[in-house]
C-alpha cells in the first residue's frame, strides 16, 4: 500500500474526475491521500473532499505565494478548520524565494504565524521550500517542538541533514525521475524511517508523463524510483513510506 502524502485534488482537472482518479490510484495500490490546501478557500474545498472519503485526509494552510492575500482573522479560520476529524496537518506553508510572488518579509511572517498554530495544536506541518534553505532552517529552529515534512524536497544534503536532526521527514516527488535530477545522492543518505512519497498532483508528473496532468496513481513511479536509487525492494519502500505517513500524521 502507498500513501500519496501531498496532492491537490480540489483543482478542477482532478476534482471533476475524482472517482476515476481514485480508482486508477487503487489499481496501483495507492490507498491513502493527503489533500493539501494552499489558501483558506481551497483548504475548505479540500475538507469537503476528505469529509466525504474515508481514505482522504486534508491539511489547511496558506502557501507562500498566497501569503500576500491573507485576510484578517485567517488564523482563527485555520483553528476552526482544524477541528474536523479529517484535518490532520498545517500546510502547505513555507518560503518560495524562486518566484517571490509574495514579498519575503510577508512570507516569513505568515510562515511563523502558522507554525505557531501547529505548535499550539501539536500537529505536524507540511512545508514548501524553494531557494530559501537558510531562512527555513533558521525559522524552524525557533520551534523545536514542531515536526513535519519537507515536501517535494529538492535541496542539498546539508539541508536534509539539518532537517533530519530537527526531527523532520523528507518527501520526494516526481522530479526525482527527471533526467537532470541531482537528488540521487541526497536520497541515498535519508534513513528509511524518515522518507515519504508524494505526487504534488496535478503538478510535477514523473517521467514518462512529464508535462501532463499528474495524479496520485503515479506516486507508484516515485516509489519505484526511490527503490532503485536506494537499492532496496519496492515492497520495502512502500511499507516504510506508508508506515512513516501513519506515524507522522497519526493516520488510522
Ligand atoms: Zn509546494
Ligand atoms: Zn503542493
Pick the ligand that lies closest to the CA of residue 95.
1
Only one residue has cell 524518515, namely: 194
pLDDT digits (tens, 9 = 90+) for 137-169: 999 999 999 999 999 999 999 999 999 999 999
Ligand lying nearest the CA atom of residue 151: 1
User: Rounded to the nearest whole angstrom, what is the distance from the C-alpha of residue 96 to the centroid of ligand 1?
Assistant: 9
User: Could you say which ligand is closest to the alpha carbon of residue 59?
Assistant: 2
| Rounded distance from Cα 151 to ligand 2 centre (Å) | 8
User: Is residue 197 predicted with pLDDT exceeding 90?
Assistant: yes
Listed in sequence order, the residues at least 6 apart from 111 whose beta carbon sits closer than 8 Å to its beta carbon are 64, 67, 93, 94, 95, 127, 139
Residue 55, pLDDT > 90, answer yes
Please determine, for residue 235, whether its predicted confidence score (pLDDT) is greater than 90.
yes
The C-alpha cell 506541518 sits at 125
Q: Looking at residue 252, what is its pLDDT?
A: 85
Find the 188 Cα to ligand 2 centroid distance in Å. 24
User: How far, in whole angstroms, is CA 77 from its chain's centroid?
Assistant: 21
Q: For the chain, which residues make up each domain, given as ranges?
A: 2-249
Cis peptide before 208, with omega less than 30 degrees from 0? yes
What is the residue-averaged pLDDT of the chain? 97
145 alpha carbon to ligand 2 midpoint, in Å? 24
Please determine, for residue 188, whether its predicted confidence score (pLDDT) is greater than 90. yes
Q: What gap in Å lies between CA 91 and CA 123, rounded to an integer?
A: 10
- Ligand nearest, relative to CA of residue 150: 1
Model confidence pLDDT, tens digit, residues 24-41: 999 999 999 999 999 999
Q: What is the pLDDT of residues 106-142, one digit of tens each?
A: 999 999 999 999 999 999 999 999 999 999 999 999 9
Which numbered ligand comes closest to the C-alpha of 11? Answer: 2
The CATH number of 2-249, from 3.30.43.10, 3.60.10.10, 3.30.300.180, 3.20.20.140, is 3.20.20.140
Kindly give the distance from the C-alpha atom of residue 33 to the centroid of ligand 1, in angstroms, as a whole number.
16
Ligand 2 centre to CA of 215 (Å) is 12
* pTM of the entire predicted model: 0.97
Q: What is the pLDDT of residue 137?
A: 98
Of the bound ligands, which one is closest to the alpha carbon of residue 96?
Answer: 1
- The mean pLDDT of 50-54, rounded to a whole number, is 96
Q: How far is the CA of 219 from the centre of ligand 2 (A)?
A: 14
As a whole number, mean pLDDT of residues 52-63 equals 97
Instruction: Tell me the pLDDT tens digit for each residue of 199-223.
Output: 999 999 999 999 999 999 999 999 9
Amino acid at each position: 500500500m502507498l500513501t500519496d502524502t501531498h496532492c491537490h485534488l480540489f483543482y478542477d482537472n482532478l476534482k471533476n474526475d475524482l472517482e476515476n482518479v481514485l480508482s486508477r490510484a487503487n489499481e496501483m495500490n495507492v490507498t491513502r491521500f493527503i489533500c493539501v490546501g494552499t489558501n483558506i478557500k481551497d483548504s475548505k474545498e479540500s475538507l469537503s473532499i476528505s469529509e466525504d472519503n474515508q481514505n482522504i485526509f486534508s491539511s489547511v494552510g496558506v502557501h507562500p505565494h498566497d501569503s500576500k492575500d491573507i485576510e484578517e482573522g485567517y488564523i482563527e479560520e485555520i483553528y476552526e478548520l482544524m477541528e474536523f476529524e479529517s484535518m490532520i496537518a498545517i500546510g502547505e506553508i513555507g518560503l518560495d524565494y524562486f518566484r517571490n510572488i509574495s514579498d519575503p518579509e510577508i512570507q516569513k511572517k505568515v510562515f511563523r504565524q502558522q507554525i505557531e498554530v501547529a505548535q499550539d495544536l501539536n500537529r505536524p506541518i507540511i512545508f514548501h521550500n524553494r531557494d530559501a534553505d537558510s531562512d527555513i532552517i533558521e525559522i524552524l529552529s525557533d520551534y523545536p517542538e514542531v515536526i513535519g515534512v519537507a515536501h517535494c524536497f529538492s535541496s542539498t544534503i546539508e539541508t536534509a541533514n539539518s532537517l533530519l536532526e530537527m526531527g523532520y521527514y523528507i518527501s520526494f516527488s516526481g522530479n526525482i525521475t527527471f533526467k537532470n535530477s541531482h537528488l540521487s545522492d541526497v536520497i541515498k543518505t535519508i534513513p528509511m524511517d524518515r522518507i515519504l512519497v508524494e505526487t504534488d498532483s496535478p503538478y510535477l508528473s514523473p517521467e514518462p508523463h512529464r508535462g501532463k496532468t499528474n495524479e496520485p496513481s503515479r506516486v507508484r513511479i516515485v516509489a519505484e524510483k526511490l527503490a532503485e536509487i536506494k537499492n532496496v525492494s519496492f515492497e520495502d519502500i512502500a511499507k516504510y513510506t506508508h508506515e512513516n505517513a501513519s506515524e507522522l500524521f497519526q493516520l488510522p
